[in-house]
Every structure is written in C-alpha cells, then in structure tokens.
A and B are shown apart, each in its own frame.
Chain A
Amino acid sequence: MQEILNIFVKSIFVDNMIFAFFLGMCSYLAVSKTVKTSIGLGLAVIFVLLITVPVNYLIDNFLLKEGALAWISPKLAEIDLSYLSFIIFIAVIAAMVQLVEMFVEKTSPVLYAQLGIFLPLIAVNCAILGASLFMQERAYSNIGEVTAFAFGSGIGWFLAIVGIAAIREKLRYSQIPAPLKGLGITFIITGLMAIAFMSFLGIKL
C-alpha cells in the first residue's frame, strides 16, 4: 500500500509529465488560454490515462513481453512480440478514446458537451502514449501500481495546465515586450514553474 502511495505522489510532483518530461506540450500550449477549457482538457486526460495505461499494461504482460504468451501453451514461451508494442499501444489508445467518447455521449451528455471537442484530440496527445511507454520501461510490478502511476500522472498534467492557464489569464494585463508575447513568455513561465517543481525532487513517503 505504501509503495502505491509513493508512486502516486511521485508521479504527480517529481516525475510530472510536463515539467520533467515535457509530454503533452502541444495541447498544453494550445489549450491553456482560459482556465475553463484547460480544466476540461485536464479532466479528459486524467480519464483517458486511467483507462489506457492499465489496459496497455495487461496487453503488454499477457501478450507482448518475452515469455508472456506462456499462459496459452508452454510452446509459445519463447516468443517476444515487444517490437510490436508501439503500434499496439497507439491502436489501443485510439480505440479507447473512441469508446470513451461513445460511452460518455450515451451516459452523460453534460460531461460530453464539456469534453466533446477535446476527446478526439487526446488520441494524439503525447502524454497518453508517453505514460504507456513509461509504464513499459519502468516495469511496475502489479496493476495497482500501474493505476496509481496513471492517476498520478493525469493529476500532475491537470495541475500543470490549470496553473499555466491561470497565469496566462493574468498575463493579458501585464506589459510584455512584443516579441516575447504569447508563445515566448509561456515557455519561460513554464520553465520557472518547472524550477519550482524541482524542489519536490527526492521526496519519498
């Protein structure tokens, strides 16, 4: 249990998707103009991460890894399909996003109206594929840890995008040199926020 909590806290603050690995920067820069839309996108990312990463974990462990097929018959134990993982992961993500979209549309029209535009965009958000690839690389030991990692990364991404959106709303009233306006200052502020997040380095529960 403590290990799970540790992974959760670590993936929010220390291994923050944006500030430590720059994943999902494209949508982070494009959609962070107002707090309201950024909350919508942030929630959608948490949601999709929470579904796709555990699913990809199961696929990786029971189909792709070396020796993973042994549960079908011992003859298949030597097969290593891990070179297929990119294409399988991205297919799972695209399919899951489509399913989630259909599911949300049927069950909760209100949520669908809020997330509507962002859901299809998420399939090509690097944070989602990145989380699956990190999951594979770091070799978490069970599905509880993987879920904690996915949830933590999602929350970390959410915090980052809502934070920068709030700052950008205020920035509109400040005087910035013309060449730095918009993109330039957003980069530099993200850098400063990342320096602030560096103070969490080394935290362990």
Chain B
Amino acid sequence: MAEINFKLIKNPLSKENPITVQVLGICSALAVTAKLEPAVVMSISVTVVIIMANLIISLLRKTIPSRIRIIVQLVIVSLLVILVDQVLKAFVYDVSKQLSVFVGLIITNCIVMGRLEAFAMSNKPFDSMLDGLGNGLGYAIILIVVGFVRELFGSGTLWDYPVIPQAFYDMGYQNNSLMIMPPMALILVGLIIWIQRSRNKELCEK
C-alpha cells in the first residue's frame, strides 16, 4: 500500500484549483450552478469520472501509443460518462433533466482531459486516483459556492427549501432574478478569482 500523498488532495483545493487557477472545465461549472442541487450532483459525477478515468488511464499508460492517446482517452471517458448518465437517469431523473446536455459534456470537460494528460499519463495508479479526487473536490468547492450564492439570492431558497423568511418579502425584499441568469455565474467566478488572488499574491498574472 503506497503512502497517501496528501499534497495531491490538498493542492487542487486552493493554489492549484482546477477552475480558478488552471482554468479547466469552466463550461459545465457555470451552466449548472443556478441551483445548489444540480451543482452538487454535477460535482459528484465529475469527481467520479475523473477518479475512474485517472485510474484506468494510469493503469494503461505504458501500453497506450502516444500518437493515438487522445482517442483512447476520449473513448474511456465517454464510456464512464455513459455509465454516469444512465445512473443519473435511473435514480435522480429530475436533476438529470435539469443538467440536460451537461452530463454528456463531461466528456469534453477540460478537467478530465487535462488531468489525464498532465498527471495520469505519467504517474502511478494510486497517486492518479488521489489526484483525481483532489481535482474533483477543487471543482466541487467552486461549484457549490457559486450555486449557493446564486440560489440564495436568486430564488431565496437552498436545496429548494425557502430560507429567506416571508417577513422579509413583506417588508419589500425581492429576489434578484439576475442571479439566476447566466451572466451572474461569470461575474461571480470573476469575483472568486479576485478574492483568491488578492489573498495569495503569487497567483497574480503579470
């Protein structure tokens, strides 16, 4: 049993975050975050796919000819995504309807391909799984933060339970419907990047 390398899990959560630092997998991250529930389901699906894909590619890394590795990676990832899609359709049909095409788009999610290329092709299976777990969690954190803010201010609910008391609405409080619209996802991620980089100066771009 190899020693668990905690760095592989810890780094992607902050200073190597897949979304805010490596800029991978933005597409799906923004589109599914109008509500908390789809964001959580999406994070879990992506994490599972990354871990499994990293494991499989890492096991096969010595036998894959480098010229056709992209195709091999795509095939393995799309098999895993088909499995995830069928499981979601079977157990959480409503959420799977909300996620619509974005489950399928995990195939071309740059996080998965990026980690396969950058890590799994050159590292041992167990480390690759940890790397997958770390990056999946790093992706999940951003999705959950964005989903939390958008649902709370956009529809006044969390996980579909109303959390803003009726008394507020009676006093004239209104939901900010711009929060549910796509542009706010972009602006929120921009703000998260701003906060993270002002706390961690070495991440700033020249």
Identify the A interface with B (CB < 8 A).
19-26, 29-30, 83-87, 89-91, 94, 123-126, 128-130, 133-134, 137, 177-188, 190-192, 194-195, 198
Contacts and interface: CB of A to CB of B under 8 A. Distances in A.
A177 B190 CA distance: 13
Given A87-B75, A87-B78, A194-B186, A179 B198 contact: yes
A188 B190 contact: yes
Given A25-B30, A26-B110, A124-B110, A87 B185 contact: no
Contact of A184 (B74, B104, B184, B197): B197
A130 B105 contact: yes
Contacts of B78: 86-87, 90
B130 interface: no
Nearest to B83: A83
9 contacts: A22-B26, A23-B27, A90-B108, A178-B198, A179-B204, A180-B194, A181-B205, A187-B186, A187-B193
A83 B16 CA distance: 35
Nearest to B110: A26
Given A130-B105, A178-B198, 10 more contacts: A21-B27, A22-B29, A22-B186, A87-B75, A91-B75, A123-B74, A133-B104, A177-B198, A178-B197, A192-B187
A185 B196 CA distance: 13
B85 interface: yes
A192 B70 contact: no
B163 interface: no
Nearest to A87: B78
B95 to A, nearest CB: 16
B113 A124 contact: yes
Contact of B23 (A19, A20, A26, A124): A26
A30 B23 contact: yes
Given A90-B107, A90-B108, A183 B183 contact: no
Interface of B: 20, 23-31, 70-71, 74-75, 78-79, 81-82, 85-86, 100-101, 104-105, 107-110, 113, 178, 181-187, 189-191, 193-198, 201, 203-206
A177 B191 CA distance: 12
Nearest to A196: B183
B104 A26 contact: no
Given A94-B74, A124-B113, A126-B105, A20 B197 contact: no
Contacts of B195: 179
Nearest to A135: B101
Given A134-B101, A137-B101, A179-B198, A86 B85 contact: yes
B70 A86 contact: no
A12 to B, nearest CB: 16
A171 to B, nearest CB: 12
A130 B101 contact: yes
A84 B82 CA distance: 8
Contact of B182 (A21, A89, A94): A21
A19 B183 CA distance: 7
A19 B108 contact: no
A162 B204 CA distance: 25
Contact of A126 (B85, B108, B190): B108
Contact of A29 (B23, B74, B82): B23
Contacts of B81: 86
A126 B197 CA distance: 27
Nearest to B77: A90
B194 A86 contact: no
B4 to A, nearest CB: 31
Nearest to B204: A178
Nearest to B30: A22
B31 A129 contact: no
Contact of A94 (B27, B71, B85, B184): B71
